[in-house]
Amino acid sequence: MNVTYRIDKDILYISIEGRIDANNAAEAEKKIFEIKNDNAGKHVVVDADYLEYISSAGLRVILRLRKEEPKLTIINVSPDVYDVFDMTGFTEMVTVEKAYQRMSIDGCEFIAKGANGAVYRYNDETIIKTYYAKDALPEIKQERENARRAFVLGINTAIPYGIVRVGDGYGTITELLNAVSVTKLIRNNPDDLTEAVKYYVDMLKSIHAIEVEDGEVLDMKETALDWADFVAKHIPEDQGKKLRALIEALPKRNTLMHGDYHTNNIMVQNGEPLLIDMDTLCMGHPVFELGSMFNAFIGFSGTNKDRIVGFFGYSYETGVEFWEKSLKMYLGTEDEEVCRSVAEKAMVIGYTRMLRRAIRRPNEADSPAMIARCKERLAVLLDKIDNLDF
């Protein structure tokens, strides 16, 4: 028997390994309560991922813990141990969550990576998204709810149908029979982006055609104003005031947006685009979506053109061409001046977000170069742009 712990935000996870029976129940109780008392005020969760057996003596330890922690939760409980909790009535007193199936991504085809996780093809029918955060269950549940909401609203999206354990973390599994990402379509044919652009823009337009109610998803305008307030402390005062004023002046929009819309997050199945990676679902003016898109294809690689190769597997030049063609198709015009004007509005949002990110990550190798570039570009853009609406 071994008792360890970890802390994530305001949650104290107490892990119990091995067996708890009459021989070691007193020792286990002593360790558990020492940990709890040393971390008073935190919500206690018992992680039973490696608990192999628990006797009546062990159950009494849990019962005494529950008396002091009325909201006690027990997670990652194996079927055998769960049966013990269930037979004795513990499941009626305490929230007991069964362990998730364990799956390995060893040897799986890597599809793409995003802000919160990476996606792999497990077999012809299934993809697995693994999450970087070890305690990603809240994110996973929110993403599943976002995917369900988007599906109900009419978006052709793949809804994760199961949660699994992958290594020390969590993942989700989604049925995507023989689907390929738009990223892969581009890599397979970088000289002709027509098909990839059409899938990409068709899906984007279908998302932006939907209006949602206030409070249904995150309002990106509020988030962008927070970015502007942060950035304003690091740029000249007049620029900071204008940046905030430009965002504040954007008209209220309840347009549904993906929030992290790039080619890794669009799969094509039987000739239809499918949206994945729904944890960033939000609403607001489409300029916020375009700002995120600019960053993905151009902005983040501005100081290191190899970055896009590592993220998408295609060149910086291909990313620029894809961004320009997608913007023209989205706006429904070949007018270079119109497209340039909208692109510059998107860049204001994109560079604001990147500058904040680089300042908050000073130890990254290219942060100084990124900070300098963002400040330089924002200064030029803010001097010439009078509004962000289009």
Tens of pLDDT, residues 50-67: 999 999 999 999 999 999
What is the pTM assigned to this prediction?
0.79
pLDDT of residue 263: 96
pLDDT of residue 146: 87
pLDDT of residue 142: 85
Q: Where are the domains of the chain?
A: 2-99, 109-175, 180-384
CATH superfamily membership of 109-175: Phosphorylase Kinase; domain 1 (3.30.200.20)
pLDDT of residue 9: 83
Tens of pLDDT, residues 142-155: 888 888 888 888 89
Residue 172 CA to residue 101 CA, distance in Å, equals 11
Low-confidence residues in the chain, pLDDT < 70:
none
Domain topology for 180-384 = Aminoglycoside 3'-phosphotransferase; Chain: A, domain 2 (3.90.1200)
CATH says 2-99 is which class? alpha beta
* Domains 109-175 and 180-384 belong to one CATH topology: no
Residue 116 CA to residue 280 CA, distance in Å, equals 10
